[in-house]
Structure 1
């Protein structure tokens, strides 16, 4: 065989080998493509099986863990120190002492036999029928609690709350040696605080069911709303509209919110909050502050230089205000930011102990704490907020106040001169100059007011 024939034969073998490799790769690609198509079909089928046949129902979640950003700043206001209610702190070691009291209160309730439906088996049956709903009320999976343990917790905790409130209001007698009502042990204020903490709630539906099953014949309170209203930290009297709104309560803390805030379902939400001047600054330009005693709601209004604020009581052992804010920060819905916005407004008005003293004189703030502590409370009230959003009604008040403050620039200048020159003179010359300047500015202010009147 010649050299050319050898080379030609070699080239033919290479081409045949390349063709074989290409064919093999094509087969592999086709197989791979087929496998991928099959996997896609399987995934699509899996997704299709999970698709719901109808629209999901509205979420029933209403009891939340407090966000870390809020809790780490004021943990004592969000973590119970005496009694655990519900699953979040169930089994906590330092709260175990109260478990004996819960069972004793349940024993007393059953032993009293307030009505024919007050039978433990009947109570358990009713609560067990709503177990799924109750679990969905919490924003965490509660798989660590068996059905038996969960239902028992709902029954024991719920009956304890009702029995405690009934004893507290005198509807049923309390034992003379009951430490929860023994003033020397001072446990009652702590217990009251624990029962309004966001992480320490039971669904309202559970409490209402237990109330009906254990209702005292011819008792003082015909409904759960009436009983809780008498025990919760709420100012003023309950209107018919508020009484009707409480039927929509989701838990005790939500009941406080409904009775404390003007829950307008059509309230618009603004994406930001603009600060107002402090109460002292506004008082210096002639703004009149008045307590709004006719309105149970947390509310602020401003009209023609008069600011009306719903009175508020702040106590060191009452964390309800911060828990109401935490509830609003956790949830979504038409009532979002009502109390948070009110807190922002008070945080603007109260910048120092001087502002606190002024608002206390006007009977807007009621407290047993010192003025410095109250000022510090409001200066830090907005720390940890997840957003600067606010409700439009209070934002509108803030806008009107800022505009009013800017329009009264002459009064602000007079106040500045009095404070820096007249009241703290460094020389006779500064005093005489200040007096002359104040007279000139006062005349200008009078002229400006007259012109504004005729222009309007």
Structure 2
């Protein structure tokens, strides 16, 4: 009995120390789930500057911390001070001898690091500390607001709502803009055929007019034409896509719009041939280091280990329509006819001439038969 009481006491103590992984909606700083993170550690790890506690004392970024103590409050003060200085220098216009902005590679790396999900502090912390440091006693605002500095630094529109929780969330919101919540269903969308297969079935791919405001998530399928907004795929695309998808997995279980988009493109672009179809259509501009197969691998890798329970009904409908289009026998036969007999202007002319000669031969034969009768 005494032994049982001892176990009960230890168990109660263990429960008191325990804490939930995601306590409530106010939680916004996440450690990327292990199975997602292991597919590409570098995409979630800061290279130059660490912000917040998750990568504190990481040897890769230790040279930028200048820290002498480990207390969380001092850590936050130092990190916030660095970001304030960075944003203010950027806003004022950096000088040629600036230690950061004089080196373009360092400036870009800093921007990338500040968008990583594990490298965040809540925006309200930045705003409150900034207001304490730079608020004017006479009410004359000498300095721009912290949010205005953030919009400027990340080239974001300054009409972002007040629900943004940190810089990764700001990046996501800039892509979504004013997108309204869409209907969702507990049904996985399955695109049974890749871009090259759909092309062979007669489907046409069209890019959204680049001169108009582009919503990269706005996919449409009408009258045998799949319209997809233009996207530039470069070496940083995987990083921001991975971190936004990880954020949606942790924080937006019912509003994972970017994840839906990545999932669709993963199914559409399976290979080098598929990537080439979208590149030739002007939908994808590939600036990645390596061959076009990297484009297909990028979307596959970003979507790996992502678990979803509901899906965008618009994408579900597009997938169903595309699958039905491919299965329709008339579409396949017309595509085969165009591919085999009308692939180039010269071959088209030759095919038309052959058809005309065939018709003339038939007419001549019929006339000969009628004359004999």
Shorter-chain TM-score above 0.5: yes
* Structure 1 Cα separation of the partners of residues 179 and 130 of structure 2: 26
Please list, as runs of the form range in 1=range in 2, the aligned pairs for 1:24-423 lying within 5 A after superposition.
58-100=24-66, 149-168=71-90, 171-183=91-103, 186-213=105-132, 214=134, 222=145, 224=147, 226-232=148-154, 238=157, 243-245=159-161, 247-261=162-176, 263-265=179-181, 267-284=183-200, 285-291=202-208, 293-296=212-215, 298-318=217-237, 319-335=239-255, 337-369=256-288, 370-387=291-308, 389-407=310-328, 409-416=329-336
* Structure 1 Cα separation of the partners of residues 331 and 96 of structure 2: 62
* Structure 2 Cα separation of the partners of residues 416 and 220 of structure 1: 65
Distance 1:99 1:256, change over 3 A: same
Q: Which has the higher contact order (CA 8 A, sep 6+)?
A: 2
Cα offset, 1:372, TM superposition: 2.7
* Structure 1 Cα separation of the partners of residues 183 and 85 of structure 2: 37
What is the number of residues matched between the two proteins? 327
Distance 1:218 1:306, change over 3 A: farther
TM-score normalized by structure 2?
Answer: 0.73
Q: From the CA coordinates, give the structure whose radius of gyration is larger.
A: 1
Cα offset, 1:175, TM superposition: 4.7
Distance 1:154 1:363, change over 3 A: farther
Instruction: Report which of the two has the higher share of helix.
Output: 1
Structure 1 unmatched runs, 5+: 1-31, 51-56, 104-144, 424-431, 440-456
Cα offset, 1:167, TM superposition: 2.4
* Structure 2 Cα separation of the partners of residues 373 and 271 of structure 1: 29
Cα offset, 1:221, TM superposition: 5.0
Structure 2 unmatched runs, 5+: 17-22, 343-350, 359-373
* 1:267–1:392 contact (8 Å) kept in structure 2: yes
* Structure 2 Cα separation of the partners of residues 279 and 166 of structure 1: 46
* Structure 2 Cα separation of the partners of residues 212 and 356 of structure 1: 48
TM-score normalized by structure 1?
Answer: 0.61
* 1:291–1:363 contact (8 Å) kept in structure 2: no
